[in-house]
Amino acid sequence: MKKLSNAIPPTPTLTPQDHTMASGREQCKTPKTLKMSLNKKKLSNFAYFCVTFLFFTCFNLYFSNLISYKLLNGLEFTSPLFNLVLTKNTGAAFSIMQNSTAFLIALSLIGFLAILYFVIKDLKTLRMKEILFISFLMAGILGNLYERAFLGYVRDFFELAFVNFPIFNISDIFINIGVIGIATLILLSRKSNKSNIK
């Protein structure tokens, strides 16, 4: 009668050389996997940026044209919160730097391209929240840039009824949402880093 132990094949033992070869194969795969993951994130961020930026830009231009058209054709709107009053602004946001159209066009174009370069350069590391607020900011800059370049002025129509404040438009709102949002994220990030250090 054969012994049972003889029927069971012995378990192979790995030599140090085998471990080294296996570890080497894992290390070879890691950079490739990491690169694929980063490329996937970059593509995802780029798609999200395009969608949000185009949406905010189209929203801005469409409703700016619609409100301006309605006001030119006799629309009157007043409320305890705000009124609609169409004005031509040859200055910057909130009616500052009047009659500086050429300078503001150049400044807006430089700012827009600089932000776009930053987005493309750091697309892999940007978070969705950051991309959202950057899209707000860029859509606002582009909206005012478009009107200055093609109309020679910016159309403002929101007048706050409860306080004495310059008349503004949708682009101004988007720019402020973008700036405030980005500043808030930076402050929260610094606060989080300080907490981790402690």
Residues that are catalytic: 156, 172
The count of C-alpha atoms lying within 13 angstroms of the C-alpha of 15, restricted to the half-sphere facing its C-beta, is: 3
Whether residue 142 contacts residue 61, with contact meaning beta carbons closer than 8 Å, is answered with no
* Nearest of 111, 166, 136 to residue 60 by alpha carbon: 136
At residue 79, what is the residue type? S
Give the closest residue to 82 by CA, choosing from 30, 160, 185, 17: 160
| Range 23-54 burial, b when 16+ CB lie within 10 A, else e | eeeeeeeeeeeeeeeeeeebeebbebbeebbe
